[in-house]
Structure 1
Amino acid sequence: MTTSSFDRHAAWSHRLGAQYDGRGTNFALFSDHAERVELCLFDGETERRLDLPEMQGGIWFGYLPDVHPGQRYGYRVHGPYDPASGHRFNPNKLLIDPYARQLDGSVTHDPAIFGYEMESGDDTTFDTRDSAPFVPKGYVTDPSYDWDEDKVLRHRWRDSVFYEAHVRGMTMQRPDVPEDLRGTFAGLAQQPVIDHLRRIGVTALELLPVHTFLQDDYLLEKGLTNYWGYNTLNFFAPERRYLKSGEWGEIKDMVRRYHDADIEVILDVVYNHTAEGSELGPTLSFRGIDNLSYYLHGEDARHCYDTTGCGNTVNVAHPMVLRMVLDSLRHWVQEMHVDGFRFDLASTLGREATGFEREGSFFAAIRQDPVLSSIKLIAEPWDIGDGGYQVGGFPWPFREWNDKFRDDVRGFWRRGGGLKGALAERLCGSPVQFDHSNRPASSSINFVAAHDGFTLWDVVSYNEKHNEANGEDNRDGHDHNLSDNMGVEGAAEDADITAARLRRARAMLSTLMLSRGVPMLLGGDEVGNSQGGNNNAYCQDNEIGWIDWDTGHDLSGTVADLAELRRRIPALRETRFDSDTCVTRWFGPDGADMEDGDWDDDSDPVVMCHEAEGQAVLIVVNGGDDAELVLHEEGYTLDFVSEPETATLDGTALSMGWQTVAVLSKAIEERTDPDDLEETDPEEDAA
Structure 2
Amino acid sequence: MTPYVLSGGTANTLGAHHDGEGVNFAVFSENATRVELCLFSADGSTEQARIALPERTGPVWHGYLSDLPVGTLYGYRVHGSYAPELGHRFNPNKLLLDPYTRELKGEWGNHPATLGYDDSSSAQDLSFDARDSAPYVPKSVVSDPSLFAGMAAGLHKKSSKDLIYEAHPKGATMINYKVPEAVRGTYEAFGSDAMLEHFKTLGVQAVELLPVHSFVDDKFLVERGLTNYWGYNSIGFFALEPRYLGPDGLKGFRQMVDSLHADGIEVILDVVFNHTAEGDQRGPTLSFRGLDNASYYRLTAGQARYYVNDTGCGNTLKVSHPYVLRMVLDSLRFWVENMGIDGFRFDLATTLGREDHGFEPHGGFFDALRQDPVLSQVRMIAEPWDIGPGGYQLGGFPHEFLEWNDSYRDTVRRYWRGDAHSAQELGARLLGSADTFDQRGRRSDASVNFLASHDGFTLADTTRYSRRHNEANTENNRDGHHSNFSDNAGVEGDSDDAEVRDIRARRQRNMLATLFLSQGTPMLLAGDEFANSQQGNNNAYCQDNDIGWLNWDQADTGLQSFVASLSAFRQDHVCLRQSRFLHGAARPNDGLPDAVWMDFHGQALEWRDPRLANLCLLLRCSAEMPDYAPDGDAVFIVFNRKDVVGQVTLPVPRDGHQWVRCIDTDQTLQDGICTLEQAHTKVASQSVTAFVQKHVGSAT
Counterpart of 2:573?
569
Worse-superposed segment, 147-156 or 68-77: 147-156
CA distance in 2, matches of 1:573, 1:600: 30
Counterpart of 2:37?
39
1:89-128 equivalent positions in 2, closer than 5 A? 89-120=90-121, 122-128=124-130
Match of 1:606 among 607, 616, 640: 616
SS at 1:61's partner residue?
strand
Match of 1:530 among 519, 529, 533: 533
User: Are residues 305 and 66 of structure 1, via their aligned partners in 2, closer, same or farther at CA, if it must alter by over 3 Å?
Assistant: same
Question: By how many angstroms is 1:245 displaced?
Answer: 3.4
Question: By how many angstroms is 1:2 displaced?
Answer: 7.8
User: Are residues 562 and 3 of structure 1, via their aligned partners in 2, closer, same or farther at CA, if it must alter by over 3 Å?
Assistant: farther
CA distance in 2, matches of 1:402, 1:639: 28
CA distance in 2, matches of 1:637, 1:649: 5
Counterpart of 1:594?
605
Question: By how many angstroms is 1:210 displaced?
Answer: 0.8
Counterpart of 2:154?
152
Deviating above 4 A after TM superposition, structure 1's stretches of 4 or more consecutive aligned residues are 1-4, 145-149, 579-582, 645-649
Question: By how many angstroms is 1:147 displaced?
Answer: 7.9
SS at 1:235's partner residue?
strand
Q: Percent identity?
A: 50
Contact 1:162 1:204 in 2 (8 A): yes
Letter in 2 for 1:31: S
1:369-518 equivalent positions in 2, closer than 5 A? 369-518=372-521
Any unmatched runs of 5+ in structure 2? 588-592, 623-628, 696-700
CA distance in 2, matches of 1:51, 1:649: 80
Are 1:262 and 2:273 counterparts? Answer: no
Contact 2:98 2:287 in 1 (8 A): yes
Question: By how many angstroms is 1:167 displaced?
Answer: 1.1
CA distance in 2, matches of 1:313, 1:156: 29
CA distance in 1, matches of 2:56, 2:20: 24
SS at 1:589's partner residue?
coil
Question: By how many angstroms is 1:82 displaced?
Answer: 1.1
Counterpart of 1:560?
564
Contact 2:165 2:206 in 1 (8 A): yes
1:162-241 equivalent positions in 2, closer than 5 A? 162-241=164-243
CA distance in 1, matches of 2:577, 2:640: 22
Question: By how many angstroms is 1:545 displaced?
Answer: 0.5
Counterpart of 2:678?
651
Contact 2:151 2:340 in 1 (8 A): no
Letter in 2 for 1:16: L
Counterpart of 2:23?
25
Are 1:347 and 2:387 counterparts? Answer: no
RMSD: 1.8
Question: By how many angstroms is 1:667 displaced?
Answer: 7.3
CA distance in 2, matches of 1:198, 1:3: 57
CA distance in 2, matches of 1:496, 1:395: 47
Letter in 2 for 1:67: L
Counterpart of 2:625?
none
Counterpart of 2:663?
640
CA distance in 1, matches of 2:263, 2:634: 32
Worse-superposed segment, 446-455 or 599-608: 599-608
SS at 2:344's partner residue?
strand
Question: What's the CA shift string for 1:219-259, capped at 9, x where partnerless?
Answer: 11211111111111111111110012373222111111111
Letter in 1 for 2:120: E
Letter in 1 for 2:562: T
Contact 2:173 2:179 in 1 (8 A): yes
Contact 1:36 1:77 in 2 (8 A): yes
CA distance in 1, matches of 2:236, 2:143: 15
Contact 2:215 2:241 in 1 (8 A): yes
Contact 1:615 1:667 in 2 (8 A): no
CA distance in 1, matches of 2:500, 2:571: 33
Worse-superposed segment, 129-138 or 60-69: 60-69
Letter in 2 for 1:6: L
SS at 1:91's partner residue?
coil
User: Are residues 663 and 421 of structure 1, via their aligned partners in 2, closer, same or farther at CA, if it must alter by over 3 Å?
Assistant: same
CA distance in 1, matches of 2:364, 2:26: 24
CA distance in 1, matches of 2:150, 2:337: 14
CA distance in 1, matches of 2:17, 2:322: 21
User: TM-score if structure 1 supplies the norm length?
Assistant: 0.94
Any unmatched runs of 5+ in structure 1? 669-687
User: Are residues 645 and 518 of structure 1, via their aligned partners in 2, closer, same or farther at CA, if it must alter by over 3 Å?
Assistant: closer
Question: By how many angstroms is 1:637 displaced?
Answer: 2.4
User: Are residues 52 and 544 of structure 1, via their aligned partners in 2, closer, same or farther at CA, if it must alter by over 3 Å?
Assistant: same
Question: By how many angstroms is 1:148 displaced?
Answer: 9.5
Question: What's the CA shift string for 1:490-549, capped at 9, x where partnerless?
Answer: 111012221221111011001111111100000001111000111010110001000001
Number of residues paired by the alignment?
665
Counterpart of 1:250?
252
Question: By how many angstroms is 1:443 displaced?
Answer: 0.4
Contact 2:659 2:677 in 1 (8 A): no
CA distance in 2, matches of 1:535, 1:573: 30
Match of 1:628 among 647, 650, 660: 647
User: Are residues 257 and 667 of structure 1, via their aligned partners in 2, closer, same or farther at CA, if it must alter by over 3 Å?
Assistant: same
Letter in 2 for 1:477: G
Question: What's the CA shift string for 1:362-406, capped at 9, x where partnerless?
Answer: 111101111111101000000001100011110110110000000
Question: By how many angstroms is 1:602 displaced?
Answer: 4.0
User: Are residues 32 and 508 of structure 1, via their aligned partners in 2, closer, same or farther at CA, if it must alter by over 3 Å?
Assistant: same
CA distance in 1, matches of 2:3, 2:442: 58
Question: By how many angstroms is 1:149 displaced?
Answer: 7.8
Worse-superposed segment, 264-273 or 581-590: 581-590
CA distance in 2, matches of 1:445, 1:601: 29
Letter in 2 for 1:595: E
Question: By how many angstroms is 1:645 displaced?
Answer: 6.8
Question: By how many angstroms is 1:595 displaced?
Answer: 3.0
Contact 1:415 1:602 in 2 (8 A): no
Question: By how many angstroms is 1:61 displaced?
Answer: 0.7
CA distance in 2, matches of 1:390, 1:531: 30
Worse-superposed segment, 609-618 or 433-442: 609-618
Question: What's the CA shift string for 1:405-431, capped at 9, x where partnerless?
Answer: 000000001111221111111110000
Letter in 2 for 1:656: V
